[in-house]
Amino acid sequence: MKIAILDDYQRVARGLAEWDRLPPGSELRVFHEHLGDEDAVAEALRPFDVLVIMRERTPMPASLIARLPNLKLLVTTGMRNLAVDLDACRARGIPVCGTAIGGTPTAELTWGLILALAKRIPAEDRALREGRWQTGLTRTIAGRRLGVVGLGKLGAQVAKVGLAFGMEVVAWSQNLTDARAAEVGVRLVEKPELFATSDVVTLHLVLGERTRGVVGAAELGAMKPTAWFINTARAGLVDEAALLDALTNRRIAGAALDVFSQEPLPPGHPLLALDNAVLTPHVGYVTEENYAAFYREALEDILAWTEGRVVRPLT
């Protein structure tokens, strides 16, 4: 049995699970670098029976699955992965299993990014290292309005921290009700009002057909010139060209982004040149606790499969 672990950027996979529990004769290979386009992925992964993939880093569309003749089991970290064509896997009889994932790290990162913008942490850190002292004014967030787009588990966590900081918190999503908003302690408003009046707008929606491009030029254009935009959810929720335009022409004060339409973000990407953007490399879920659970449970999925059982299947 040949097993591949993909996109282990931090080179931690081997140390976070007891891979020596694999059946005798098993071969384990760990890929530390992103494999690239579909042709490169198909060529590299053709020999493997089992793939362990990290979230959506390497997509598994039907066209790629068809080019992997030996694939018999696919394990993804987390219990949702829209980059895997589950229908194509079912048609081939390939089980797709998942793992646990912690629910708080992305909310914590969201607040790290909001504070990084408000308190100018990256800019002042760079300036201090270059010999400059106090190069700009920071802002207080107490008393300002936080607009939360999507008030599910993560959005509610972010909203409650905003309330603790003394912010006024409003929320909107397509299915949000007054009752749900009141349960979290915030107020439901219409989408145009949220974007036009919030000092911070943060996204916490699941990407789907109804939410793709939910933030476009109109929404960004309605924001205050002093407002900040935060996205730790999915890049596909936002018209990236419109966001680039708003940032480049300083129609909004800044943005903090953990997700991008192309990942890893390539050298020379226009976002990298902007001094009003704080960027992190999709690390919302990249914690010691999550990774330990990911690889431990991925191994459990594989061992169960070798015994004829399928655990934690994706549906």
Which pLDDT tens digit goes with each residue over 149-165?
999 999 999 999 999 99
Tell whether 13 and 74 lie within a shared domain.
Answer: yes
The reply to whether 55 and 44 lie within a common domain is yes
pLDDT higher than threshold 80 for residue 304: yes
| Residue 313 belongs to some domain of the structure | no
Are residue 219 and residue 127 in the same domain, yes or no?
Answer: yes
The H or E element that residue 123 is part of is helix 121-129
Catalytic residues: 234, 263, 282
Distance between CA 212 and CA 174 in Å, rounded? 12
Does residue 93 lie within any of the structural domains?
yes
In a domain, 315, yes or no: no
Q: Is the pLDDT of residue 176 over 90?
A: yes
Same-domain status, 116 and 28: no
Whether residue 302 sits in one domain with residue 260: no
Closest CA to 203 of 123, 114, 117: 114
Percent of the chain with pLDDT over 90: 99
134 with 247, same domain: the answer is yes
* 169 domain residue, yes or no: yes
Query: In this predicted model, what pLDDT tens digit does every residue of 93-113 receive, in sequence order?
Result: 999 999 999 889 999 999 999
pLDDT value, residue 39:
97
Convert the pLDDT of each residue in 62-94 to its tens digit: 999 999 999 999 999 999 999 999 999 999 999
Residue at 144 is within a domain: yes
- pLDDT of the residue at 33: 95
Statement to judge: residues 65 and 137 lie in one domain: no
Same structural domain, 195 and 72: no
Q: How many CB atoms lie within 10 A of CB 170?
A: 23
Residue 312 located in a structural domain: no
pLDDT number for residue 103: 81
Residues 296 and 193 in one domain: no
Examine residue 254 and state whether it is found in any structural domain, yes or no. Answer: yes
Do 113 and 67 lie in a common domain?
A: no
Q: What does pTM read for this prediction?
A: 0.94
Q: Tell me which residue range forms the domain holding 219.
A: 105-279
Produce one character per residue of 288-302: b if its CB has 16 or more CB atoms within 10 Å, e if not: eebbebbbebbbbbb
**Exposure string (b/e) for 190-211, b if CB count within 10 Å is 16 or more?**
ebeebbbbbbbbbbbbebeeeb
CATH code of the domain covering residue 73? 3.40.50.720
Backbone angles phi, psi at 277, to 5 degrees: -125, 130
- pLDDT greater than 80 at residue 315: no
Asked if the structure places residue 314 within a domain, the reply is no
Same domain, 45 and 174: no
- Written as six digits, the tokens of 208 are 């789907």
pLDDT in tens, 28-42: 999 999 999 999 999
Supply the pLDDT for residue 119.
Answer: 98
User: What token pair was written down for 87?
Assistant: 């229908």
The count of structural domains within the chain is 2
Mean of the per-residue pLDDT values of the chain? 97
Tracing tokens 């040149």 back to the chain, one arrives at 273
* 296 in the same domain as 199: no
